[in-house]
């Protein structure tokens, strides 16, 4: 890793260009647009740490830059160090690690597309980590980019930190194939993934309350 100030120096040089090119945009910038909107940002990022990723967002007039770690928990500290070194930039929010996101009605990666309302999930626990099976009636297993769909979907739903710390893998599977391999197995709508995950890995703390001892009358 190099000095994070080198990356932020480049960002400061092109910040007005980025803001102008994101002027009418709302949402998360597609990765294919990064070089056009932020020329040289990815090169500067790779010089600092080639494993890290970068996303730009604009919502309600606020710009955001998210430094990701490629879902690799070993790089979380590097992403946080870079984000913490960010200079003050009016109208901008800088943060490390992708937050939880709603993928919307469908998730798309190149050719394959998965409709959220048709997806289910199952999971298995081993060594304090979870394997998530994303189940689809017509899973595009042979399409380019299909192998990354499940990982990106689960990472979006859980956020990068939880995914990196607690998920060992996420796999896409045809629902019929899963039923044949695990007859009687349980699955749930994909919209319930975060809540079920939190119940396992982030259960609410129990509040200890002292018992009230009722006074007793002693027999004479």
Q: What pLDDT does 215 receive?
A: 55
What is residue 192's predicted lDDT score, i.e. its pLDDT? 96
> CA torsion sign, 79 to 81 to 84 to 85?
negative
The residues pairing with 67 across neighbouring beta strands, listed in sequence order, are 54, 96
Q: What pLDDT does 205 receive?
A: 78
Q: What is the pLDDT of residue 148?
A: 85
Residue 21 and residue 216: Cα distance in Å, rounded? 77
Kindly report the pTM of this predicted structure.
0.85
- The pLDDT score that the predictor gives to residue 149 is 86
Q: What integer pLDDT is reported at residue 141 of this predicted model? A: 79
For each successive 10 residues of the chain (220 residues), what is the average pLDDT?
90 97 92 95 96 95 96 96 96 96 69 81 93 90 78 94 96 94 93 96 78 53
pLDDT given at position 106: 58
Predicted local confidence at residue 147, as pLDDT: 74
**Distance between CA atoms of 138 and 149, rounded to whole angstroms?**
13
Q: Three-state secondary structure along the chain? A: CCCHHHHHHHHHHHHHHHHHHCCCCCEECCHHHHHHHCCCHHHHHHHHCCCCEEEEEEECCEEEEEEECCCCHHHHHHHHHHHHCCCCCCCEEEEECCCCCCCCCEEECCCCEEEHHHEEEEEEEECCEEEEEEEECCCCCCCCCHHHHHHHHHHHHHCHHHHHHHEEEEEEEEHHHHHHHCCCCCCEEHHHHHHHHHHHHCCCCCCCCCCCCCCCCCCC
Domain map (residue ranges) of the chain? 4-96, 106-201
Task: Say what the pLDDT of residue 208 is.
Answer: 66
**What pLDDT is attached to residue 96?**
97
State the Cα–Cα distance between residues 34 and 41, nearest whole angstrom.
Answer: 8
């Amino acid at each position: 890793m190099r000095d994070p100030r080198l990356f932020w120096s480049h960002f400061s040089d092109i910040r007005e260009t980025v803001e102008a090119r994101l002027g009418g945009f709302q949402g998360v910038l597609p990765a294919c647009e990064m070089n056009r909107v932020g020329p040289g940002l990815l090169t500067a990022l790779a010089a600092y740490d080639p494993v890290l990723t970068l996303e730009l967002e604009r919502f309600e007039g606020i710009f955001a830059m998210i430094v990701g770690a490629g879902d690799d928990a070993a790089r979380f500290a590097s992403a946080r160090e870079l984000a913490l070194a960010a200079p003050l930039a009016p109208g901008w929010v800088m943060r490390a690690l992708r937050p939880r996101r709603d993928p919307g009605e469908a998730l798309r990666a190149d050719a394959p597309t998965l409709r959220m309302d048709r997806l289910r999930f199952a999971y298995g626990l081993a060594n304090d980590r979870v394997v998530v099976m994303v189940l689809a009636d017509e899973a595009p297993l042979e399409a380019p980019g299909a192998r990354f769909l499940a990982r990106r979907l689960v990472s979006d739903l859980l956020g990068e930190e939880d995914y990196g710390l607690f998920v060992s893998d996420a796999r896409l599977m045809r629902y019929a194939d899963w039923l044949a391999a695990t007859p009687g197995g349980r699955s749930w709508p994909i919209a319930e993934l975060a809540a079920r995950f939190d119940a396992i890995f982030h259960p609410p703390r129990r509040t200890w309350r002292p018992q009230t001892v009722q006074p007793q009358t002693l027999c004479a």
